């Protein structure tokens, strides 16, 4: 197998996390390039295996020279993804921008890898939004083995879920308010406040994996810098066994079962010096004809970077 040429189209912070996991991968990677769909600052540069990574603009990209594109853009950047796919580059759409398109499989690594056979229709595979992938990983086997009526999810979104600029805005607002400096009248307040966000097409993405199950997503923006938390309730017509779900968690290499209450901040402190990341699950309990639990992950490092590289490894093994 020839060494792979990989393009990354993402903001700077996520590019750094992706190259971190690519460096740990079993893949033979010859070259990594960054396509700046979000322009970097002058001092921002990405390194892979201790070498500077080439940074090019989307208009300069010759997609035919790349084997894979790891794409983390928004709908406005979608033409670049389409151009890459048409040039023969296999695209991993990391945020589910293309998930609603017919012929594009939506895959969460280790859950529905068999759907990758549909990849070749468009040369694009979508990972779902981190809110969806976090839920799917926590419940996939349980959903398959139990007849559920409805799943309700409340996602507490950090600033990093939106982008690095929002992290900077949260930091700036926090500093200003602590120093008694009021915010501009029309400025969206992030610091010390919460507000609802649209769930978008999350249900569509989820039902591409589990089409028969009703799910409701509630998304809340919180004044947290990094790390997404979810409160999940699953309901049925009959009593559900918490021991069954706990056993499934304990045998999943992507999951860490927590005895204490894990939070995004505690998770960030715990994983800051570690090479591996996990989906942290706990507070599992029974409710009337159902179960509920608490879920925390670094949505940048785990749900996006780590899972993307795992999906890349699975596709590469099939192709080469």
Please compute, for residue 138, the number of CA atoms within 13 A of its CA located in the half-sphere on the CB side.
33
Pick 4-127+304-319's CATH classification: 3.20.20.10, 1.10.3720.10, 3.40.630.30, 3.40.50.720: 3.40.50.720
Question: How distant is the alpha carbon of residue 216 from its chain centre?
Answer: 18
> What pLDDT is stored for residue 176 in this prediction?
95
Tell me what the mean pLDDT of segment 89-95 comes to: 96
**312, 66 Cβ separation under 8 angstroms:** no
Question: Is the model's pLDDT at 320 over the cut of 80?
Answer: no
Question: Is the model's pLDDT at 45 over the cut of 80?
Answer: yes
- Structure confidence at residue 258 as a pLDDT band (50, 70, 90): very high
Tell me how far apart the alpha carbons of residues 281 and 138 are, in angstroms, rounded to a whole number.
8
Entry pTM: 0.94
Q: How big is the chain, counted in residues? A: 320
The domain locations on the chain are 4-127+304-319, 131-298
Nearest C-alpha neighbor of 140 from the set 112, 179, 163, 105? 112
**28, 4 Cβ separation under 8 angstroms:** yes
Tell me what the mean pLDDT of segment 208-235 comes to: 96
**209, 215 Cβ separation under 8 angstroms:** no
Alpha helices, H only, the chain: 12-24, 78-86, 130-145, 164-178, 202-209, 242-250, 264-271, 307-319
4-127+304-319 with 131-298: one CATH topology?
no
**133, 305 Cβ separation under 8 angstroms:** no
Tell me how far apart the alpha carbons of residues 55 and 57 are, in angstroms, rounded to a whole number.
7
DSSP structure string for 98-139: TTTSTT--B--TTTSGGGGGGGGGTTEEEPPPHHHHHHHHHH
What DSSP element (H or E) covers 78?
helix 78-86
- Structure confidence at residue 199 as a pLDDT band (50, 70, 90): confident
**Lowest mean pLDDT segment, chosen from 43-52, 203-212, 241-250, 270-279:** 270-279
- CATH number for the region 131-298 comes to 3.30.360.10
- Structure confidence at residue 1 as a pLDDT band (50, 70, 90): low
Tell me how far apart the alpha carbons of residues 173 and 193 are, in angstroms, rounded to a whole number.
11
């Amino acid at each position: 197998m020839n060494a792979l040429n990989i393009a990354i189209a993402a903001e700077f912070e996520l590019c750094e996390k992706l190259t971190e996991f690519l460096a740990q991968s079993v893949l033979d990677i010859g070259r990594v390039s960054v396509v700046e769909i979000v322009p970097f600052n002058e001092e921002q540069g990405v390194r892979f295996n201790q070498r500077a990574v080439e940074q090019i603009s989307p208009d300069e990209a010759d997609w035919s020279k790349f084997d894979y594109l790891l794409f983390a853009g928004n709908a406005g950047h979608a033409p670049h993804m389409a151009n890459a796919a048409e040039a023969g580059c296999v695209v991993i759409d990391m945020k589910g921008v293309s998930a609603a398109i017919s012929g594009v499989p939506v895959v969460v690594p280790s859950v529905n890898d068999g759907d990758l056979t549909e990849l070749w229709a468009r040369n694009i595979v979508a990972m779902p939004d981190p809110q969806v992938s976090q839920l799917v990983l926590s419940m996939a086997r349980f959903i398959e083995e139990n007849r559920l009526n409805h799943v309700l999810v409340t996602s507490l979104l950090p600033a990093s879920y939106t982008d690095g600029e929002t992290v900077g805005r949260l930091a700036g607002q926090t500093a200003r308010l602590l120093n008694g400096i009021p915010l501009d009248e029309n400025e969206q307040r992030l610091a010390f406040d919460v507000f609802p966000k649209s769930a978008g097409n999350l249900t569509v993405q989820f039902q591409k994996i589990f089409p028969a199950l009703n799910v409701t997503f509630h998304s809340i923006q919180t004044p947290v810098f990094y790390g997404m938390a979810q409160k999940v309730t699953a309901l049925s017509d009959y009593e559900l066994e918490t021991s069954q779900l706990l056993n499934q968690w304990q045998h999943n290499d992507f999951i860490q079962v927590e005895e204490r209450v894990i939070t995004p901040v505690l998770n960030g402190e715990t994983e800051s010096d570690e090479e591996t990341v996990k989906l942290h699950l706990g507070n599992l309990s029974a409710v009337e004809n159902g179960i509920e639990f608490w879920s925390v992950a670094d949505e940048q490092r785990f749900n996006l970077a780590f899972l993307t590289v795992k999906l890349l490894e699975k596709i590469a093994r099939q192709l080469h």
